[in-house]
Structure 1
């Protein structure tokens, strides 16, 4: 069974599942295009990625792709727990630069549906984290951008001290007043 919870940021949806369990283990459907149509996923899946993160406190992100490669993501933590963060960077949005976070975990297999026009990242809350991402667009390095995870203008409250930012992620500059967002 799926439950969709709209968040305070328009288009950003938390999805919770009730896995089926028996003596063999458990089963949960991660992606069903018909179910997700009701909450705005109308794109074909172009790419599926998997990340494994070691060390609680490690942060990945905040990443996004510029048009024409803007993408939606369905993010599911399949092992451990993460603090999943999405930042609204849509030009003209009433929640521009607002952020929303949810704990995603392998025990519950909940997900976040992150629409185009959002930057996305997460912090590992446990020492061994595995995350599955479904993307509506293929990776386009020329259109990739990022926001610094500790940008004071964003004010993201990370639950643990930030550790192990990659060289790329730590090189993202803080936003200046000229940043007016993206049009997905």
Structure 2
């Protein structure tokens, strides 16, 4: 595996090193010792799947607040998405910056998103599925979110989403005081 730094401090694109032959392909997508050696969290007590039927579906931008912020390792198991992490850590050198990666089922890459960062994605084609490994279990009262089009971040989405659920569409703009 190769860990490629992004514009968000502590966020990495995780690229697999595939080996192919006449049978097909094999690649290691996760190894706890390799992640620990990189200084990344090697244990994920919760895993989630997000299935999305239509191109243009936006989910996010979500995070879990203190005292149980989540680290996420996200990968596309079907389809292709524009995946985004936004740094909401006031003491971070990349505070309010964002990083994106195109995740797809063919390259088997993943996005490691550190605690204190919010996450969202936009589907680039129909029939997408994402698999999340989470460092914390979900705590509903700590769930938070910010607007996908918040001018505080100025995320360069590839196109305007066509499907956003009511909850995500109603999220407010970021404010350090109200989003902790």
Q: Indicate the residue corresponding to 2:158 in structure 1.
A: 159
Stretch deviating more after TM superposition (54-63 or 15-24): 15-24
Q: Indicate the residue corresponding to 1:97 in structure 2.
A: 96
Aligned-residue offset at 1:65: 0.2
Q: Indicate the residue corresponding to 1:126 in structure 2.
A: 125
For 2:144 and 2:179, how far apart are their aligned partners in 1? Answer: 12
**Aligned 1:60-139 pairs, distance under 5 A:** 60-139=59-138
Aligned-residue offset at 1:181: 6.4
Q: SS of the counterpart of 1:59?
A: strand
Q: Indicate the residue corresponding to 2:18 in structure 1.
A: 19
Per-residue CA distance 1:148-171 (angstroms, 9 max, x = gap): 111122111110221211111111
Q: Indicate the residue corresponding to 1:148 in structure 2.
A: 147
Aligned-residue offset at 1:38: 2.9
For 2:179 and 2:8, how far apart are their aligned partners in 1? Answer: 15
Q: SS of the counterpart of 1:37?
A: helix
Contact 2:35–2:42 (CA under 8 A) maintained in structure 1: no
Q: Indicate the residue corresponding to 2:172 in structure 1.
A: 173
With structure 2 as the length reference, what TM-score do the two structures score? 0.92
Q: Return 5+ residue gaps in structure 2 as ranges.
A: none
Q: Indicate the residue corresponding to 2:58 in structure 1.
A: 59
1:5 is aligned to 2:4 = yes
Stretch deviating more after TM superposition (35-44 or 143-152): 35-44
User: CA-atom RMSD, angstroms?
Assistant: 1.7
Contact 1:45–1:134 (CA under 8 A) maintained in structure 2: yes
With structure 1 as the length reference, what TM-score do the two structures score? 0.90
Q: SS of the counterpart of 1:45?
A: coil
Q: SS of the counterpart of 2:141?
A: helix
Contact 1:56–1:124 (CA under 8 A) maintained in structure 2: yes
**How many residues matched?**
180
Aligned-residue offset at 1:130: 1.0
Contact 1:47–1:134 (CA under 8 A) maintained in structure 2: yes
